[in-house]
Amino acid sequence: MRRRLTSGGWVAVATTAMVIGSSLTAYGAYYDIYGNISQENIDTDAFGDRPTKVDGAVNIMVIGSDVRTGDNANYGTAEGERPDTLVIAHLSPERNGATLVNLPRDSLVALPDCPATETKPGQSAHTGMIGEAMNNGGVQCLWKTVEQLTGVHIDHFVSVDFTGFKGMVDSLGGVDMCIPTDLKDEKAKLDLKAGQQTLNGEQSLAYVRSRYAQGDGSDLGRIERQQEFMGAMLRKVTSGDILSSPTTLYDFLGSVTNSITTDDGLTVDTMADIAIAMREADMSNIRFITVPNGPAPQDPNRIAWTEPDASQLFQAIAEDADLSGGEEESSGGSAKKEEEPEESAPAVEPSQVAVEVVNGTGVSGLASEVATALGAEGFQVVGTGNPMDAVPEQTTVYYGTGQEAHAQTLADALQTATITENPALGTTVQLVLAGDWNGVKGASSGELPESAKGTTAEKPANACG
């Protein structure tokens, strides 16, 4: 039986393992340790139209499912198999860094159709919490869901369980944390005194699992604490004697591989390639971000991703854009941008336009890319797909009765498009991409909105002194 439970700590391990994994070869332990990993086949060909992969960058879907069996039964009971933590780890060797984007488990999203498996019932397309995809269709369904929601090409997935997380921390000799106040949470088995201290595996697990003893008790607050812990764990691995001690390195990575599951495409050679490329990663270039969000309109106890901010973030990740925030400013004498003429406001705002994107070009992944770009411009993308009928010669926006203004707003946002009425359509306009497709006018500045700046793995100001 695969063990797949996480506390959020694997995100740190996913990054640090890529930074230090190449050292294993020198110790003759690489293949020995790799043999401990459980693997699962993922049929990505079944997804259909997928986002385009950017050469050099690697995107890993980090999953922790809330299944409490085996050694993890001590942490309570839970039905089904849902992610307790879900992260896109974007590794960018060319930019000497990584970005880790948390997708909160309370997110209400559009879930795609997924077939039943030997152990899962499958699902029809519907709106639900993001973790339902895994519960209904397994890792493959969750992978498909994340790609369709974000427009980010996922290369691999990994997962780790509670017991393995504790072993990782203990193999490091603990992780140094500043605890601002006394913390006690019986549900998470947390009991810590305020002050600077080194947390062992059990204490670390309780700290990152705790939800109600700290902050406002929300999952978003817990994510912030997990990110803080991840940074501390990364700093411990890269600044101590872990890299120079064969025994400590072997114990650390042994704890990792004994407790994770990956896709079968994450081979030894792939791990080595990533590790070598990422070994010079700087802590200031390892960024933690939570997808911009707010209360869901239909349920304030759930989360909705904020647009266009979320789509701008995902587009930057999908394109491996520079996420430094454009902080460099030229000093004096910089040329001013030529002011562009103001455009009149559209009759219908993009936020009121529901769009389905259909890829008629034959370019794999284009519909997902366009969907992400339109989301970044504020449009409500309700689906993507391939054409059922003949593809027009020109990129065309089709609209139903009374929706011409909606179609015109969309067409005005595109470099090239014509609009045509189709009375069979309802309130959703349909964008069919043809051979003349030339992009979205405002797409891809590479800059992140303020709500998606996040934090880095550099040591923060220490509240404990």
Look at residue 294 and tell me whether its pLDDT is greater than 50. yes
C-alpha R_g of the chain: 23
Cβ atoms of 15 and 234 closer than 8 Å? yes
Cβ atoms of 91 and 18 closer than 8 Å? yes
Cβ atoms of 404 and 411 closer than 8 Å? no
Number of C-beta neighbours around residue 445 at 10 A? 12
pLDDT of residue 199: 94
The string of DSSP letters for 50-76 reads: -PPPPTT-EEEEEEEE----GGGGGG-
Alpha-carbon distances, residue 66 vs 129, 264, 317, 382 (angstroms):
14, 22, 27, 29
With cut-offs at 50, 70 and 90, classify the pLDDT of residue 56: confident
Q: Which two tokens stand for residue 325?
A: 């925030």
pLDDT tens by residue, 233-250: 877 876 666 656 666 667
pLDDT of residue 213: 65
DSSP-derived letter for residue 438 is -
Return all residues near 363 (Cβ < 8 A) that are at least 6 apart: none
User: Letter for the amino acid at 14?
Assistant: A
pTM for the full predicted model:
0.71
Q: How far apart are CA 316 and CA 321, in angstroms?
A: 5
Which domains are present in the chain? 10-310 (3.40.630.190), 350-433 (3.30.70.2390)
pLDDT of residue 460: 61
Return all residues near 389 (Cβ < 8 A) that are at least 6 apart: none
SS3 content of the chain, % helix, strand, coil (to 5): 35, 25, 45
The string of DSSP letters for 333-398 reads: SPPPPPPPPPPPPPSS-GGG-EEEEEE-S--TTHHHHHHHHHHHTT-EEEEEE--SSPPPSS-EEE
Number of C-beta neighbours around residue 279 at 10 A? 16
pLDDT tens by residue, 105-127: 899 998 999 999 999 999 999 99
Q: Which of 141-145, 249-253, 288-292 has the lowest mean pLDDT?
A: 249-253
Q: Which two tokens stand for residue 452?
A: 């998606």
Q: How far apart are CA 49 and CA 112, in angstroms?
A: 13
- The sign of the torsion formed by the CA atoms of 359, 356, 318, 9 equals negative
SS3 at position 126: strand
Q: Which of 65, 107, 87, 63 is nearest to 152 (CA)?
A: 87
Percent of the chain with pLDDT over 90: 34
Q: How far apart are CA 194 and CA 290, in angstroms?
A: 27
Q: Which two tokens stand for residue 55?
A: 């050469």
Cβ atoms of 155 and 88 closer than 8 Å? no
Burial category of 338 from C-beta neighbours within 10 Å (exposed 0-12, middle 13-18, buried 19 and up): exposed
- Averaged pLDDT, 142-169: 87
Q: How far apart are CA 63 and CA 283, in angstroms?
A: 23
Top-confidence range, 208-212, 298-302, 338-342, 439-443: 298-302
